[in-house]
Amino acid sequence: MAAIALNRLVRAKASFYFSPISSSSSIFRRSFSSETDPTRVPSSPIHEHKPLLPRRDLKDRNVQWIFLGSPGVGKGTYASRLSNLLGVPHIATGDLVREELSSSGPLSQQLKEIVNQGKLVSDEIIISLLSKRLEAGDAKGESGFILDGFPRTIRQAEILEGVTDIDLVVNLKLREDVLVEKCLGRRVCSECNKNFNVACINIEAKNGIPGVYMAPLLPPSGCASKLITRSDDTEEVIKERLRIYNDMCHPVEEFYSSRGKMLEFDLPGGIPESWPKLLHALNLDEQEERRVAAA
């Protein structure tokens, strides 16, 4: 449902701005030049869009959650665990971007440059990639979602709000020195795309600030020889991504806080300490116990 609504909205909004992203490279250029296009019909502000489909009661559908948090905080790890527990897809816009840039599609070179500088991809491209992903999921009968890395701008948040209800936004937090170490230690299996971490983070308590210990998250033997480092996980690019996150995403955090949807969660350490506490905060401990007992 959400996918159909989002797709209709995107098509309606986007038709004067840009065409589907996979059809031609000139399309991408056109999306930038449309501001000066005299034939462009002025769009209405995003907040004036009415939902295109009736919003469904939470009891009639799966959860629609968002995971926010700085680069390296572990959004993907926890969102993916929760998606298994709740039976909803985990949709990471960063993964959609990386899939597009590793394809030979017309956008791949431009996306590579943007991502390798630590910059954000345009709202139009992200909405288009997400829309395609939701549409494919809808065709397979998926419902609900945990979004990871979306929205990152107020405009993305407004577009999402225009088409569907978000039940909960989880904002994961970690101190910045740990974020940098975690990004530097991140490795991805080039075959199954799972994330691992080779860093052993052990920061001692100092001046009343508690220490942090995070054991490495090592791959199983099948993945060990296939690990790669993301091209944007260099110290310089990580710092730029953190800077941009702080500039662009804090307004998004305010957006959801002001709507009473935000769960702020300070990660107390690595997965063994954090996962049970996160489940408890989400009132999901019993669900996890049942899952473990059934396994």
CA dist., res. 34 & res. 121, Å (int): 17
Contacting residue, 6, 82, 88, 97, with ligand ADP by CB under 6 A: 97
Closer to ligand ADP by Cβ: residue 113 or 266? 113
Find the shortest distance in angstroms from Cβ 249 to ligand ADP: 9
Question: Could you say which of 56, 230, 239, 261 is catalytic?
Answer: 230
Q: How far apart are the first and last CA of the chain?
A: 31
Closer to ligand ADP by Cβ: residue 188 or 279? 188
Closer to ligand ADP by Cβ: residue 99 or 138? 99
Does the protein bind ligand ADP through residue 164 (CB under 6 A)?
no
Find the shortest distance in angstroms from Cβ 239 to ligand ADP: 12
173 is catalytic: no
Does the protein bind ligand ADP through residue 94 (CB under 6 A)?
yes
* 3-state SS, residue 76: helix
Does the protein bind ligand ADP through residue 199 (CB under 6 A)?
no
Q: 207: how many CB neighbours lie within 10 A of its CB? A: 4
Site for ligand ADP in 107-136 (CB under 6 A): 114-115, 118-121, 126
Find the shortest distance in angstroms from Cβ 150 to ligand ADP: 4
Nearest to 114 by CA among 216, 196, 32: 32
Question: Could you say which of 98, 132, 186, 187 is catalytic?
Answer: 186
CA dist., res. 77 & res. 230, Å (int): 16
Contacting residue, 80, 83, 93, 274, with ligand ADP by CB under 6 A: 93
Paired tokens of 162: 């225009």
Closer to ligand ADP by Cβ: residue 56 or 239? 239
Contacting residue, 18, 28, 150, 255, with ligand ADP by CB under 6 A: 150
Q: Show the site string, 241-280: x = touches ligand ADP by CB under 6 A, - = not.
A: x---------------------------------------
Q: Taking CB positions, which residue lies at the least distance from ligand ADP?
A: 94
Closer to ligand ADP by Cβ: residue 94 or 144? 94
Does the protein bind ligand ADP through residue 154 (CB under 6 A)?
no
**Structural element, H or E, at residue 294:** helix 285-294
239 is catalytic: no
CA angle 72, 183, 174 (to 5 degrees): 40
Size of the site for ligand ADP (CB under 6 A): 19
Find the shortest distance in angstroms from Cβ 183 to ligand ADP: 7
Helices (H), 87-234: 93-102, 108-116, 123-139, 154-163, 176-185, 221-224
Binding-site ranges for ligand ADP (CB under 6 A): 71-72, 93-94, 97, 114-115, 118-121, 126, 149-152, 156, 232, 241
Residues with catalytic roles = 75, 152, 186, 230, 241
